[in-house]
Amino acid sequence: MTQHSSEEAELLYCTVFGSRKFPAASTTRDGILLLLLWASAGGTRRRHLLRLRDPTSHLPEMPGKYTITYFPVRGRCEAMRMLLADQGQEWKEDVVTMEIWTKGDLKKSCVFGQLPRFQDGDFLLYQSNAILRHLARNHGLYGQDAREATLLDMVNDGVEDLRLKYGRLIYQNYEAGKADYIKALPGELRPFENLLAQNDGGKTFIVGKQISFADYNLLDLLNVHLVLAPDCLASLPLLASYVQRLNARPLLKAFLESDAHKQRPINGNGKQ
């Protein structure tokens, strides 16, 4: 049976199961654990494992069952992209230009007359937070019980409140309101710092012991605010560590460092 180093086994383990800590006591050298990891991984994650083993591999990309229809910006879709990437999923981007949108046909077909639209096989879904919750239910990202699920809903609603304020600044009051917004920002973020402190001293996730859809949404919001105000977490050490820790998850880090992410504008008007 093939021999594997503990470092390689740890990388494979973390790729399959996210960034959970590798078991201290293991029998990695006999390859048994690696076979179990391989058996537990779906087709998409097996391709990720093979690419990690051989970065020069030119394995064909298999089309995912998911399609995101949205404008060519991060906007309200980057959190779901981060979730999908970190969970080893593949998806198609159906990019909508303003020329297409202003024709009106696509807008009329949308339930609420707005994007994003998300396709899961033959299932069409609208509203970004509903999409995140749908993915959470399908990928085990909605807490370990009803109590955690309710707390995650609460956190996500808090994220939405701040996202709306950010959107109003960016699209309605950027020049006149930026200074006051940045001044008030640590206070707006303090509730998330407090929630982290209540969960294992802020060493893991926003709720519980496993990553959730609310973590991806909060992380995206924090990342865009760090572009707006690089020092906004200076007085919030738990949030600062949280951002660094989650951004370092192997598959998520690869996505955040990809051209697809970096070349996609944060907002539609160029302000950030």
**For the whole model, what pTM was predicted?**
0.79
Cα 191–chain centre separation: 20
Token pair of 45 as six digits: 């994650």
Instruction: Kindly list the distances between the CA atom of residue 37 and the CA atoms of 4, 62, 65, 81, in Å, as whole numbers in the listed order.
Output: 13, 21, 23, 24
* 258 HSE (CA, 13 A, CB side): 15
Query: Do 79 and 216 touch, CB atoms closer than 8 A?
Result: yes
Angle between helices 237-247 and 213-228 (to 10 degrees): 110
Which of 50-59, 106-115, 163-172, 208-217 has the lowest average pLDDT?
50-59
The average pLDDT across 63-82 equals 93
Residue 46 has pLDDT above 50, yes or no: no
* Per-residue pLDDT, 64: 60
Question: What is the CA angle 222-156-78, rounded to 5?
Answer: 50
Q: Closest by alpha carbon to 238, among 250, 254, 252, 222?
A: 222
Instruction: Kindly list the distances between the CA atom of residue 169 and the CA atoms of 18, 163, 178, in Å, as whole numbers in the listed order.
Output: 35, 10, 7
Q: Regarding predicted confidence, which is higher, 47 or 219?
A: 219
Q: Using pLDDT thresholds of 50, 70 and 90, give the confidence band for residue 97.
A: very high
Average pLDDT over the chain, rounded to whole?
A: 85
The average pLDDT across 48-57 equals 43
Query: Do 208 and 130 touch, CB atoms closer than 8 A?
Result: no
Strand, coil or helix: 232: coil
Which of 16-25, 60-69, 136-145 has the lowest average pLDDT?
16-25
